[in-house]
Amino acid sequence: MASSSSSPLPPAMKNGESTNWTELPPELTSSILHRLGAIEILLNAQRVCRSWRRICKDPSMWRKIDIKIPKKFEDLFHDLEAVCRRAVDLSKGGLIEINIEHLVNTSLLNYIADRSSNLRRLGVVDCGPVVSSGVVEAVMKLPLLEELEITYKSSIRGQVLKVVGQSCPNLRTLKLNCIGNFKCCDKVALAIGETMPGLRHLQLYRNGLSDTGLNAILEGCPHLENLDLHKCLNINLVGLRG
């Protein structure tokens, strides 16, 4: 039978002393630091002490990188690209997943691709037409890519998606999110249906495809398990494949 009294407190808590965070086991410290974003780690956490800096330089810390720009860092926007490059360097080729918001340019995408041949997921937000060509250049170097998410303001060309499909035979998840004005056009859908037969999950947010484009996807992607067409307003659902 369990005792009704509470478990004895550690000596530090008994005496009202604070815990020395630098003396935590490395694996526990690593788990805690993993909850921070790359910017917080490289600009703040790694400067706390030598033991934290040593942990922050471990390549296992950088298998997944999320680059989001908090408001307090907006003034450092131009310096944050260097932070992203540093994070990629620290992965030492072991990077599996990277997500970048509002910091995307062709040079950075190529830098990532040249050093991350094992990358499985690439997510980019606020991708303009110039960066779309950068995405093409990058994915051509990422044959193991399984998931691609692009959030863009302007239209994305069908030819871009063709290159993605031809360069990434393992692609299983594609998410295209339009946050600007979209055009009624089936070129993207036709490219997906033509070059991505292995897709399992497809998300097209505010895409201008019609029933023709949707049919092309259904015919060309027979293994689809999830199809999200949120706010695709040009679809009439007439004459679709049964």
Q: Pull the structure tokens for residue 228.
A: 């999200």
What is the domain count for the chain?
A: 1
Structural domain range at position 201: 64-228
Q: Is 31 domain-assigned? A: no
The predicted pLDDT at position 187 comes to: 93
Residue 55 in any domain: the answer is no
Tell me the average confidence (pLDDT) per consecutive run of 10 residues in the chain, 242 residues long.
40 52 76 83 86 90 86 61 92 96 85 96 77 83 96 82 95 92 85 97 94 96 96 77 50
For residue 14, tell me if it sits in a domain. no
Q: HEC states along 19-85?
A: CCHHHCCHHHHHHHHCCCCHHHHHHCHHHCCHHHHHHHCCHHHHCEEEECCCHHHHHHHHHHHHHHH
Domain contains 178? yes
Confidence (pLDDT) at 18? 57
Give me the CATH number covering residue 194: 3.80.10.10
> Which pLDDT value is given to residue 241?
52
Smallest CA-to-CA distance from 92 within 113, 62, 131, 120 is with: 62
- As given in the structure block, the two tokens for residue 16 are 């009202």
Give the list of residues 6+ apart from residue 242 with CB closer than 8 angstroms, or none.
none
